[in-house]
Homo-oligomer: A and B are copies of this chain.
Amino acid sequence: MQERVKLTDEQRIDWLRLIRSDNVGPRTFRDLINHFGGARAALDALPRLARRGGAAAARICSREQAEKEVNAARARGIDLIALGEPDYPPRLMMIDDAPPLLAVQGRHDIFARPLVAIVGSRNASAAGMKFASGLARDLGGAGYGIVSGLARGIDAAAHRASLDTGTIAVLAGGHERIYPAEHVQLLADILAQGAAISEMPLTWEPRAHDFPRRNRIISGLSAGVVLVEAARRSGSLITARLAGEQGREVFAVPGSPLDPRAEGTNGLLKQGAIMVTEAKDVIDALAPILGRGFDLPVEEPEREEPTANEPSDDERGRIVGLLGPSPCSLDDLVRLSRSSPAIVRMVLLELELAGRIERHGGGLVSLV
C-alpha cells in the first residue's frame, strides 16, 4: 500500500484554492496535479490555460477565501481531509473522480471499517422503512458502517437504526446547509458514533444536480450499495448505476410487481443485482471482497515538462474540431488528431478550465 502523508497547512490551502476555482472538478484537479506536480504550480498556470482554452477570465479562488473556509471549518470541528492523507476513506480514494478534499465532521475511525450503503425512496412505504431498519441494524451488528444520504424515507431509517453502531451521512450541500432541515437533529445524533461528509463549501445550498453528484461518494465509500425501494428513474437508481461503474456490489430488495416502489429494485435484480432479503445476503457477498483487501492506485505524477507540451494553435484547432456534443474518448482524440496523448490532455485541460467541455465517466469528454 502506498505511503500516506499529510499535507502541510500551506498545501491544504493550495488544494482548496484549486478545487474551488471555476471549472475545476475532481478529474481536472487530478490531471492538473499530475501535470504540474502540485497545486501551487497548477494555480499559477490556471489563467494561461483557461485563456488558451478560449475563456476571457476564469475565476480563481483566492488565498483569503480558502483561508476563510479552512478557519470556518475548524471552528465547527470539521476537518478538511485530502485525498491520500491517512484519514481519507480508503475505498473512496479508488474512484476516478474522488473529491480532492472531504469536509468531515464526526469520527474518522469509521472510515477504516467495512462500509455498506443503504439507500432508497424518500417516499418509502412503512414496510420498506421497516426492512431498511432491520437490515441496517443487522449489518451494523455485524461490524459494518452504514452509509446513506440523510434523505427522508429509506435513508433516514437506515441511519436511525445504525446510530449506535456507526453510520455516515453524505451531504449534497455544505455542512451549514443540511437538507432536509428536519434532519438536523438526526445528523447531530449520527455524529456521536459516525460522521457527516461533504465535498462542497460549508454554506453551499444543495441544488438538484448536486444530489446525483453526491451519490458517487455514497457508493464510492462503500463495498456495496443496497437499494431498498426505488421507483423507475429515481435518484437511487443513479447511485446503483454509479456503484456498478465503480465496481461496487449492487444489491436490491425485491418487491411486488404491483408496487411502483419496487419497479426500480426489481429492474436491477433482472439486470443481475444481488437479491437481498436478509443481512446475510449482503455479508456473504461482501465477505470475499473485504477479505481480499484492495490496492490503492499508485499515483506517480507524470510531471511532464509543462512547456514541452505546449500545444500549437494548429493542434488545438484540430482537437477542438474533433469534439462535439457526443462524448468521445481520449484515445479516439489521440488517434484522430495524431497529436501525442500529453498534448491532447493539455488541450482538454485548457478547454475544461475555460468551461467549454464536460467530462463523463470512463474518460469521455464532450463539448458543452
Q: Could you tell me which residues of chain A, from 261 to 287, have a CB within 8 Å of some CB in chain B?
A: 262-263, 266, 269-270, 275-278, 281
Q: List chain B residues, Cβ under 8 A from A266.
A: 254, 275, 277
- Report B-chain residues with C-beta under 8 Å of the C-beta of A257: 131, 253-254, 276-278
Enumerate chain B residues within 8 angstroms of A281, measured Cβ to Cβ.
Answer: 270
A129-165 CB mask vs B (1 if < 8 Å, else 0) is 0110000000000000000000000000000000000
Across the interface, do B254 and A262 meet the contact criterion of CB distance under 8 Å? yes
Q: Report the minimal beta-carbon distance from A132 to chain B, rounded to whole angstroms.
A: 11
- Does A256 have its Cβ within 8 Å of any Cβ on chain B? yes
B254–A127 contact, CB under 8 A? no
Does the CB pair B253–A127 fall under 8 Å?
no
Q: Which residues on B sit within 8 Å (CB–CB) of A258?
A: 127, 130-131
Closest partner residue, chain B, to A228 (CB atom) = B257
Chain A contact residue count (CB 8 A cutoff) = 20
A37 on interface, CB distance cutoff 8 Å: no
Query: Contact check: which of B259, B263, B269, B278 meets A275 at CB < 8 Å?
Result: B269
Give the Cβ gap from A280 to chain B, nearest Cβ, in Å: 11
Chain B residues positioned under 8 Å from A254 (CB to CB) = 254-257, 262, 266, 269, 275
In-complex Cβ contact of A256 among B127, B269, B275, B278 (8 A): B127
Residues on B with beta carbons closer than 8 Å to the beta carbon of A130 = 258
A131 with B256: in contact, given A266-B275, A277-B266 (CB under 8 Å)?
yes
Q: Chain B nearest CB: distance from A197 CB in Å?
A: 29
Q: How far is the CB of A70 from chain B (nearest CB, A)?
A: 46
Question: Which residues of the other chain, B, contact A277 by a CB distance below 8 angstroms?
Answer: 257, 263, 266, 270
Minimal Cβ-Cβ distance residue in B for A277: B257
A237 to chain B, nearest CB (A): 15
CA distance A259 to B257 in the complex (A): 13
Query: What are 15 A-B contacts defined by CB distance under 8 Å?
Result: A127-B256, A130-B258, A131-B257, A131-B258, A253-B256, A253-B257, A254-B254, A254-B255, A254-B257, A254-B266, A256-B256, A257-B278, A266-B277, A269-B275, A270-B281
Inside 8 A of A256's CB, which chain B residues have their CB? Answer: 127, 131, 253-256, 259, 262
Chain B residue at smallest Cβ distance from A269: B275
The closest CB in chain B to the CB of A252 belongs to B254
Query: Given the complex of chains A and B, what is the CA–CA distance between A277 and B265 in angstroms?
Result: 11
Give bound CA distance, A269 to B255, whole Å: 12
Point out the residues of chain B lying under 8 angstroms from A270, CB to CB: 275, 277, 281
Query: Please, which residue of chain B has its CB at the minimum distance from the CB of A126?
Result: B258
7 residue pairs, one from A and one from B, having the closest CB atoms: A254-B254, A257-B277, A127-B258, A266-B277, A270-B275, A255-B256, A254-B266
